[in-house]
Structure 1
């Protein structure tokens, strides 16, 4: 796969520069740097430290030197406006009347300037690690400009070896030198200023501070809540052509509000590197599989796992859910199943279906309309028709966090003359339209974590189990196929054995399901469906057997500790910190040992269903349902009933 041409957004901080190294390690070509600086004061002098929710501005006077230090053209633009839209997720549809005055929109003229000078640019790199607030804003702008967002550091603390310190250790491993230039937390003081954040002693001190005032799981060690800010002054060759030096008498301590302390920097200078200094190691790339799933893969390939069929079906009375009824309402959920449309083409039928939902006069959808939909399934007669229906579907979901979605092709389950059928589950109870009751995850950046969802569907969306919040939420997760997250290519063992490819794809797609479940605070799995495309003669053991073995192995792995603090759903340190102002770290819990994060219990029911085709030519797609608190039976998932009835003749 050919590499992308990347413009790297830089703030001066450690993460944006380390992300550049990972862009290069993944075969991309970084052709330009871009930076937003504070507005000019009195026409010529910029504000030293703008209180921005989005952009780091302290130390901005050093930014111009990066052009020479890295040998890359630098483009800059002043920040205009303020954080008018303070929602966790961002998109044009969520903006206010004067959306252009939101500080996020300052990225648009900056990136347009870069594209004008470098028409080949087709991707943008950012250093986002845990903040949905920052990531979704960059994604919104990038995708509107036709740029692929790259966030290779996203969810780094949840990747092997699953410690926050690992990111700082990896920075030290390649020789990146980033100095702390501001502290804004009760756990940090002036003594941290100008320390290399990746130095072993500094990492130990940051970890100790997090244990006292925060936790090693909430991003405090990495400064994700604004606890501190950094300035990169050196790094590995051949990226860094020179080091940035600031003499001690050119670093002045400035005390700010709420106990914050920063350095005012002046007269920085460059020291060119010698050729010998350019020979450095590439950054460590996290392994594709967590240890639990790597062990699972080995067991599948060797056949060590018992071939136990875990497809415990629903009770007979539950599987006879009335398919003739196109609507089923139960508490807070409403299912509209088997929706078909008029027209001679698949595009016309899809348009008809969406219009019928939008202009419904029978009150099938509640008054919130399409915004109430949390989960959709699309069944096509031919997967080749996906390109025709996807833009139509997407045009009806323009707000951030569209419904989670499953797409499959299976001709013989569709009525005659029907090329596409849609089922939706929506939030029905009129009292539950508040954003607090609908949590979603929509990551559109490439990373090492899980596949990016570029387009009109979220990785997961939740639905309240009941009208009270104590019972928790059901988590509906989008269908997961075995894409390598960093490249978005279909996973392959590379050794030409079908059975090995099937084993890798089975495990990788299941890991995606679990990582998304962990991010959505899933504590118990309710049920799963593995859609497969290959016949039983394709490999030994068969793909259906592999899917069942993998599901069983997931619940037979070693138990993990459970972090009670993680039960706070919709938790975003950056967003919470800035909404409340710069404050001290908040006490949290302890760090879990590793995946999977759900509470161990007996394997829930799972089914294997053979279909004609899956997206991207995948051989398996995992569909899963979880709960954030209480255990509930799979019979409560009405959309699962719908699936089982549609595919009742194709369950293996």
Structure 2
């Protein structure tokens, strides 16, 4: 994959320069630097301004970076203030004519793009700040640039140490000095210390521990505890270092114990070419974390490596869903409109009509939609559908979604079907979204108008835990947004590796949104595969089971002779280090329900896609119960709410649609039906379900079934 041409946003701080190293290490080329600085007032420029978005302390040194790195530098004044102070940001905001300071990025980046037409990406040093990241992403996407944030969630990636970023900076030879302290027990004794030195790092951690704030990015200055100025780095990125003499640094006392350095003068010192550092030596977080690396190793010895295609599809599927569509169900918090279809010559045209009917005929605000299911006849039409669909979502945090292709299982002349969960106005105003559009080591960036997850607000009336709707996850390698190569693995081993990677994506999204339990999961598999379906089904179900059994524990830092060469190359070492930044794992008392659905195709021709809904704020015991009820197998997820045990969700598998009338499901529960057979019209009219036509289905034991009905409280 060809590398990107990158403009690097720099503030002078440690993170923006370390992100440049990671851009180069990932095969991209940084061709220009860009910086925003305080405006001139009455002929003078303030040394530091109170900005929510930009570091401005030490800005007088910024011009030297052009020669220090040998890259052209472009600068722009910061205009406006923090008008929009929401965590997420999507578009320009104006209050009484005032411009948001975020929009100062627009003319700056346009200036760079005019001088460097080849630029197609922008990098930033965002680590844990949604506020900064979402604003850079908003501007970048509007200008057609790919946002890169390789430091995103860095402390929560292997080796799970809050100071791992500082350790890696020290190992690479980056020298950034503390030039401002503002809180966390830091005094002016920290000023001009190398933030990545062992002595300074130890002092920072001790100071944060005394205030009880270690583990949330404080040791990295993520809460504004301190600011830094980079003066040195490894060759070949740094051609000159920056030297500031003792007499050119003046301590300026601030309010409430804050202190900073005013830089009166600085000069460049040429660096000698050196081979001490190479981009290949820069440590990158491993693709699989400890839990999933251990899972992958266990899975490797249990996958069915048999060949052949005796269990593959032998006949074309018939249409399985009703052409009428547009079923509707209303709960206390939302309205579910399912199976929306429209006439039209193409999928794009049909989606345009569907979205118009939703917004105009049904008076639905796109910002109130929390989750969507998009069914396509062919995945080749996804681009046109995405364009028609995405044009309606202009506010932050668009819906999470699952997209699959159903082929001829859709009715004749139907190219696309849409189902939506629409929150009532009072609920929609309180929903929260996770919408990461930057490439990173954490999980795949969103490509298109969808969020990784939408979290519902708590319901004080029912005391039911909050639902977290998570988008379907496919096995993209997060830094490159490409599928991992097969390498030395057999096709079955490659499928297992991809099932593991995509499930880790689901897990990381759940952890960052504070999910405590999954309601269950469906593993979609594509009908086009060289691996027998029986093998893929068994692998998917075992992956889900192992994920709930494999704990995050300390592991011996030794390589097993059984570790595959491809594992080392693609996923790195499986050694583990457990520290305070490891997030709480998601472990139910028993394994939540899971089943497998075979469909025509998945986004980008993926071989597997995991979809699930999580819950957060669950304080009671959670357990899965399985029962055999005559014609069906039922699994429920039961939660202790006060003194009562409540069924939060469940699924029922039956061998024939003729048995659906015998299946009892509370009328207040929301249903989604995965089916390989035409559903009885009377049953559909009564239940108003979302219908997902599938080629084949398997229950949690790997037994082929005709229908799986999933249901949950909403």
Q: Could you say which TM-score interval applies, normalised by the shorter chain?
A: 0.7 to 0.9
Indicate how the Cα distance of structure 1 residues 381 and 624 shifts in structure 2: closer, same or farther if over 3 A, else same: same
Aligned match for 2:501, one of 502, 508, 511: 508
Which residue in the other structure is 1:160 paired with?
158
Match of 1:444? 437
CA shift, 1:494, in A, is 1.8
Aligned pairs for 1:236-635 within 5 A: 236-276=234-274, 279-280=277-278, 282-303=281-302, 326-361=327-362, 365=364, 369-428=365-424, 430-434=425-429, 437-464=430-457, 466-468=459-461, 471-495=464-488, 497-534=490-527, 538=531, 542-558=535-551, 592=580, 594=582, 597-630=585-618, 631=639, 632-634=648-650
What SS does the aligned partner of 2:204 have? helix
Residues 538 and 108 (structure 1), Cα distance of their counterparts in 2 relative to 1, 3 Å cut: same
TM-score, normalization by structure 2: 0.80
**Equivalent pair of 2:236/2:274 in contact (CA under 8 Å):** no
Q: Which residue among 672, 681, 697 is the counterpart of 1:641?
A: 672
Asked if structure 2 preserves the Cα contact closer than 8 Å seen for 1:560 and 1:592, the reply is no
Give 1:564's aligned residue: none
Unaligned 5+ segments in structure 2 are 305-323, 555-577, 619-638, 640-647, 652-665, 676-690, 699-714
Please name the residue that 1:52 is paired with: 51
Distance 1:53 1:356 in 2: 40
CA contact (8 A) 2:528 2:601 kept: no
- State how far apart, in whole Å, the 2-side matches of 1:372 and 1:385 are: 26
Residues 221-264 of structure 1: per-residue CA shift (max 9 Å, x gap) = 11111110000010111001111111111111001123210000
The farther-off stretch of 392-401 and 495-504 is 495-504
Q: Is the 8 A contact 1:446 1:486 kept in 2?
A: yes
Query: In structure 2, the residue corresponding to 1:92 is in which secondary structure?
Result: coil
* Distance across 1 between alignment mates of 2:284 and 2:15: 15
Q: What are the within-5 Å matches in structure 2 for residues 129-208 of structure 1?
A: 129-208=127-206
- 1:603-638 per-residue CA deviation (whole Å, 9 max, x = no partner) reads 100110001110111000000111002343236996
What is the rounded CA distance, in whole Å, between the counterparts of 2:606 and 2:524 in structure 1?
10
Equivalent residue number for residue 636 of structure 2: none
Per the alignment, do residues 537 and 393 of structure 1 end up closer, same or farther by CA in structure 2, a change over 3 Å counting? closer
- Which structure is higher in helix share? 1
State the SS of the aligned residue for 1:292: helix
CA offset digits 1:524-572 (Å, max 9, x no partner): 11111110014786159711111101000011112679xxxxxxxxxxx
Note the C-alpha offset of 1:88.
0.6
| Structure with more of its chain in strand, by fraction | 2
- Would the aligned equivalents of 1:244 and 1:269 in 2 still touch at CA under 8 Å? yes
Task: Please report how far the alpha carbon of residue 215 of structure 1 lies from its aligned counterpart in structure 2 after TM superposition.
Answer: 2.8
Quick check: which has more Rg, 1 or 2?
A: 2
TM-score (norm 1): 0.87
SS in 1 for 2:274: helix
Q: Distance in 1 between matches of 2:26 and 2:451?
A: 25
Where 1:484 maps in the other structure, the secondary structure is: coil
Q: Give CA deviations for 1:391-434 in whole Å, capped at 9, x if unaligned.
A: 10000111110000111001233222211000011213x43243
- Asked if the contact 2:303/2:539 (under 8 Å) is kept, the reply is no
Structure 1 residues 188-237: Cα deviation after superposition (integer angstroms, max 9, x where no partner): 11111111110112111211222222433311111111110000010111
**Cα distance between partner residues in 1 of 2:589 and 2:384:** 42
Contact 2:303 2:535 in 1 (8 A): no
State the SS of the aligned residue for 1:30: strand
Q: Deviations over 1:329-367 (max 9, x none)?
A: 222132111111121222221111101100124x6x4xx
CA change 1:211–1:170 in 2 (3 A) is same
Moved more, 442-451 or 493-502: 493-502
Say whether 1:89 aligns with 2:82: no
State the distance in 2 between where 1:89 and 1:122 align.
23
8 A Cα contact 1:373 1:426, kept in partner: yes
In structure 1, C-alpha distance between the alignment counterparts of 2:184 and 2:30, rounded to whole Å: 38
Alignment of 1:110-121 (within 5 A): 110-121=108-119
How far does the alpha carbon of each residue in 1:578-609 deviate from its partner, in whole angstroms, 9 at most, with x for none? xxxxxxxxxxxx97563662244211001100
Equivalent in the alignment of 2:656: none
Instruction: Tell me: higher relative CO, structure 1 or 2? Use CA pairs within 8 A at least 6 residues apart.
Output: 1
